[in-house]
Structure 1
Amino acid sequence: MYSEPEPDTARRMRGMHATAAAALNATPTGSREAWGWRGRTLGRTVATASGEGWLRLVSAPADKAGGKLWEGPQEAERLMPPAVPRPRLRERRTWTEGEHGYLAELYDKITASTITTHEPILREAPDLNDAWWDELRTALGAIAAVPSDRVAVRQEYLDRAMPQYLGIPINTKVPTWTTAHGDLHWANLTGPALTVLDWEGWGIAPAGYDAALLYSYSLLVPDTAAEIRRRLGHILDTPAGRFAELVVITELLQTTTRGDNLDLEEPLRGRLSEIIA
């Protein structure tokens, strides 16, 4: 969903993806590559003895290769109910080579396309029917009900970051915690058939976090943003939902200080003004 990284990273990741394919008895097919942020992940369609699949390679510095993000997809496979449409994880491998650790995950191939391809931000209205929205609403409810000791958003972070990036005195105590996907944006959702992708970071977050994140990434397309509020108003139009919006605004405003999501800064500040008013 992101652009190809700098040449050295791209070359290393392609080589390790080929290594992973050989280890999993998979053969890459086609030329399409799906890159993650700064080349941290690389996915490709593969052929296997049990049919087409999707091979995703994750890379991290060797001393950080493990933990919550490493185990997220495997835990989602174990704990998420059928009401949450997601790619099924068939097999995985981990190894270290040089300065990097690697995780290879072989999934069933999803035929539907992601709604955005190169970034989380929505820039034009998607053509989604009532069934898609109903399924999303059901999936969010099912995710929220999954018991978990994984953590997607930490209270300690909110205590520090919310006053800093919102620029207002605020009670940072989370009113209600539920389980969240944690990265629910348009490049992690498919259409016209719904699939929820990328289960690395799921865990406990402020109630309404997923809906608030999807809404915030939609602010450049007012019609879709309004549709989200109509479809998910039972989540967003509550005190907990408004707090979740403030959490997401905090996180995204912080990313703008690193040069990311700059197009969202003005609408995010506009929405902040509406909430605190």
Structure 2
Amino acid sequence: MTLSSPGARAVDLRVEPVDDVLEHVERSLQMQLVRDTVVCKRRSVGGRTDRGTWVRVERRSFDRIGAQGWNGTEAAAVLHGVSMPKWYAGLAWRERDEPVMWRADEMVLVTAPPVGQAALVIEDPQLSDGWWAALNASLDALAAQRTHRLATPDTETATQELVTGTIRAVFPEVDATVDEWTPAHADLTWANVTGREFCIIDWEDWGMAPRGLDAATLWGNSLAVPALAQRVWAERRPDLESRSGRLMALFFCAKVVGPHAHPQDPRLEPAREEAARLIAELHS
């Protein structure tokens, strides 16, 4: 059950002062952030510490926190066989007078840069065969495990209703019933996988999701580079060519081509073409 949060103030941490928040984290975790390494994103802030670790801080309103809580990074520490940063400590607190929670997690510092600076890529990153093998090993290991957590892609709980609503709002002719659910990272974009040495970062949203969600997310964010999209599809073919995987690919396409489509999005036309193919395959 999700709590409502009337009056929660919309905040962009790229422009909002966060010094008080960072000082609270430093006092609580008994470390110092190296301030010139701090990176501010829309809803999270991250930086190196004086003990050679990394701290990530996130703000969420109550209506984006389900009954399971939002300790995804901490909960992911029990996963095995997955390339990910080791987790050390966590901290959560409520913002005074606002229906908002903050959370900070300290973990191993990953020095390899992400493959992309944003979710999508527009140039082929020329990844090695070893990189793809490591991706496959991690996703296969993740899918083999079990959890009571529910994934929260884009901070929305992964449910049949979410899948059906997203797909049928754009493609009303499609039966969007999911037949397989497996653990997923739920935000597997090119900004959340590292390059030279493979690693998956940002685990706050992981949990059970339709099979193929991760593969479809990485594939969809490759659509501006056809050869890369083809490579993702080939590497994750068992997932993406399952019924659930095709639905997840269509789920991604629906977000790109739907009512909020951006005319300059380089994924737009490829997503329209792929959606037509996927619908034909789902109906065959």
TM-score band w.r.t. shorter chain = 0.7 to 0.9
**2:167 equivalent in structure 1:** 162
| Contact 1:57–1:103 (Cα < 8 Å) also in 2 | yes
Alignment of 1:39-50 (within 5 A): 40-48=43-51
For the 8 Å contact 1:252–1:261, the answer to whether it is kept is: no
Tell which deviates more after alignment, 63-72 or 134-143: 63-72
Q: Is the 8 A contact 2:255 2:261 kept in 1?
A: no
Compute the displacement of 1:231 (Å). 1.8
Distance 1:159 1:231, change over 3 A: closer
RMSD: 2.3
Question: 1:77-156 residue pairs with structure 2 within 5 A?
Answer: 77-78=77-78, 80-81=79-80, 83-98=81-96, 99=98, 100-117=100-117, 119-152=118-151, 153-156=158-161
Letter in 1 for 2:272: R
2:193 is matched with which residue? 189
Which letter does structure 1 place at the counterpart of 2:57?
L
Amino acid in the other structure paired with 1:43: G
Q: Is the 8 A contact 1:43 1:55 kept in 2?
A: yes
- TM-superposed deviation, 1:138: 0.9
Contact 1:56 1:105 in 2 (8 A): yes
The corresponding residue for 1:234 is: 238
Which residue does 2:55 correspond to in 1? Answer: 55
Secondary structure of residue in 2 paired with 1:195: coil
Provide the secondary structure at the position in 2 that maps to 1:170: coil
Counterparts of 1:243 and 1:173 in 2: how far apart (Å)?
A: 8
More helix, by proportion:
1
Work out the CA distance in 2 between the residues paired with 1:261 and 1:185: 19
For normalisation by structure 1, the TM-score amounts to 0.86
By how many angstroms is 1:64 displaced? 5.5
Residue of structure 1 in register with 2:211 after alignment: 207
Contact 2:186 2:206 in 1 (8 A): yes
Contact 2:174 2:279 in 1 (8 A): no
Report the Cα distance in structure 2 between the residues aligned to 1:260 and 1:140, rounded to whole angstroms.
Answer: 32
Deviates most, 184-193 or 55-64: 55-64
Residue number in structure 2 paired with 1:257 = 260
Q: Deviations over 1:58-113 (max 9, x none)?
A: 112367667546211111112x11x2011111111112232242111111111111
Using the TM superposition, give the Cα deviation of residue 124 of structure 1 relative to its aligned residue in structure 2, in angstroms.
1.2
Match of 2:202 among 178, 198, 203: 198
2:155 alignment counterpart: none
Partner in structure 2 of residue 71 of structure 1 = 71
Q: Which amino acid aligns with 1:101?
A: M
How many pairs were matched up? Answer: 261
SS in 1 for 2:266: helix
In the TM superposition, residue 208 of structure 1 has moved relative to its aligned partner by 1.3
User: Of 177, 182, 186, which residue of structure 2 is paired with 1:178?
Assistant: 182
Give deviations 1:138-176, integer Å, cap 9, x for gaps: 11111111111222221012232211123x411111021
**Equivalents in 2 of 1:226, 1:64: separation in Å?**
34
Question: Identity of counterpart residues, as a percentage?
Answer: 28
Structure-2 change in CA distance of 1:43 and 1:258 (3 Å): farther
Q: What is the TM-score of this pair, normalised by structure 2?
A: 0.84
What residue ranges of structure 1 are gaps of 5+ in the alignment? none
What is the CA–CA distance in structure 1 between the aligned matches of 2:205 and 2:114, rounded to whole Å?
19
Amino acid in the other structure paired with 2:112: A
Q: Whole-Å Cα distance in 2 between the matches of residues 222 and 135 of structure 1?
A: 22
**2:163, 2:251 within 8 Å by CA — same for their partners in 1?**
yes
Closer, same or farther in 2 for the Cα pair 1:261/1:149, shift >3 Å?
A: farther
Partner of 2:9: none
Q: How does 1:264-275 map to 2 (within 5 A)?
A: 264-275=267-278
User: 2:6 matched to which residue of 1?
Assistant: none
Q: Could you list the runs of 5+ residues in structure 2 that have no partner in the other structure? A: 1-11, 152-157
Runs in 1 of length 4+ with deviation above 4 angstroms? 62-69, 258-261
In structure 2, relative to structure 1, the CA distance for the partners of 1:207 and 1:6 (3 Å cut) is closer
Residue matched to 2:3: none
